[in-house]
Structure formats: C-alpha cells, structure tokens
Amino acid sequence: MRPIPTCAMLTDQEGTMSGVRKARLLDAPAIARIEVETWQTTYAGILTDKSLLNMSVARLTTSWTAELRRWPRGIVVWDGDERGLLGYGQCGRQRDPALPYKGEVFMLYVTPDAQGMGIGRQLLLALMANLVASNYPSALVWVLRANPARFFYERLGARLVMNRQIPFDGRLVDALGYGWDDLSATLDQWVRSGDRSTGP
Ligand SMILES: CC(C)(COP(=O)(O)OP(=O)(O)OC[C@H]1O[C@@H](n2cnc3c(N)ncnc32)[C@H](O)[C@@H]1OP(=O)(O)O)[C@@H](O)C(=O)NCCC(=O)NCCS
C-alpha cells in the first residue's frame, strides 16, 4: 500500500524523485506555463478565443510569485524531475463564509500530455491532506458546468451540492459546486484502496 502524500510528508528539498511536493517560489514560471496550456485546451469553445490567446505566462508568473509568497502551503506541484512540472493545485480557506464548507480547492491543472495518468488524483489527495492539516475538515470545488473535469471530482468522492453562476472571463457562466463533507474519510478511503495511482 502506498501512503497518501500529505503536505506534512511532502518534501520541499531539492530532489530527483518524481511526484507531489510543496511548491517553491521558483516554480512560478512553470505553474504559469501549465495554466496557459491547460486553459487553452480545456476552455477552448467555452471561453472566448480572445481571452485565451491573451493569456500571458509572464503576467501569470508575477501573480503566482505573489501567491507563493502569500500562502505557499496551499500550493502543491507534481514534479516530473527532468520533464519539469506536470501539474499543480491550490487550496485554502473557503472564500464564501456563507457556505458550509470550511476549505476550498481553488484550482487543479495537469498538463495536457500528462492527463489520465493519476497525477490529478495525487495532487488532489495532497490538497485534501493539506486542508485537513490546516483545520479545514470539509471542502468545495467549483467546476464549469461545461467542463468534464467534474466527473473526475465525482470519482474522487465529491458530491454535487450546488450550482450558481460565477464571474468568469468577464461574464457569468454556469458552475457546479462539488463538496466533500469529510475530507479525512475520503483520504482514509483512498489509503485503504491503496491509492492505485502511480503516476507516469
Ligand atoms: C481534471 C484533471 C485535473 C484530472 O487529472 P488527471 O491526472 O487527468 O486524472 P487522473 O488520471 O488522476 O484520474 C483519476 C481518476 O479520475 C478519472 N477521471 C479523470 N478525468 C476524468 C473525466 N474528465 N471524466 C471522468 N473520469 C475522469 C480517471 O479515469 C481516474 O479514474 P480511476 O480511478 O478509475 O482510474 C486533469 O485532467 C486536468 O487538468 N484537466 C484539465 C483542466 C481542468 O479541467 N481542471 C479542473 C478545473 S476545476
């Protein structure tokens, strides 16, 4: 049985092993690159071509550098060693205090060439562990209704609990809220199942 990578266990030291680790300040350009790549493939036909083409790795590097300074603990990456970063995720305190979920998964992106290999699951489990360790026992993630990634969250134990329109790309779009009432129970379940994902 492979242990679930919790942030408490993750290393931030220089290493040669592939896998999930805490993000470092120097990861900002690679995170920005993944964000542009995944948005341009995932949201083509959902968001406008103009806004997708206007995405800038340089601008996003600046904002990710600020995020990494603000709360690095909420950001994890999947380091493919010589292949570079292949995915990242970010979590933290629920932005809407009216919702009954203490934590939130803000984003989770795996580079297109590496999708379907178990990386997203490893990153999400690390984010969940991170939330639990930060005293956020439950969490919500928002997914665009048009994005099939919602089935990934269902596979990882989330329940469809709400829908709303959210501001996205300068307009309101339909989004679905998927919740985990008990992150520890979800993590335990994956530990018991042996976290069958191994990554590429
Ligand atoms: C959604 C995403 C993060 C999933 O990561 P991934 O590495 O591709 O997924 P994994 O290989 O870890 O899949 C884990 C499980 O979920 C399933 N799954 C993954 N994506 C799925 C999808 N779109 N529909 C149904 N099942 C899916 C896998 O089949 C696998 O199931 P298994 O346990 O039976 O083997 C990734 O595909 C991605 O970055 N997509 C584009 C960006 C995006 O939409 N991000 C989410 C924004 S909210």
Q: Which domains does the chain have, with CATH numbers?
A: 19-192 (3.40.630.30)
Strands (E), the chain: 19-22, 75-79, 85-93, 103-110, 139-144, 159-168, 171-180
Asked whether the beta carbons of 122 and 78 are under 8 A apart, the reply is yes
pLDDT of the residue at 12: 45
User: Could you tell me if the CB of 197 is within 6 A of ligand 1?
Assistant: yes
Q: Ligand 1 centroid vs 126 CA: distance in angstroms?
A: 15
In this structure, what token pair is assigned to residue 46?
A: 């959902």
Q: Ligand 1 centroid vs 115 CA: distance in angstroms?
A: 7
Confidence class for position 195, pLDDT limits 50, 70, 90: low
Instruction: Provide the whole-model pTM.
Output: 0.91
User: Could you tell me if the CB of 155 is within 6 A of ligand 1?
Assistant: yes
Residue nearest to atom 5 of ligand 1 (CA): 120
Q: Ligand 1 centroid vs 198 CA: distance in angstroms?
A: 14
Quote the CA–CA distance of 78 and 85 in Å, as a whole number. Answer: 6
Q: Above pLDDT 90, what percent of the chain? A: 76
Q: Which of 110, 122, 166 is nearest to 140 (CA)?
A: 166
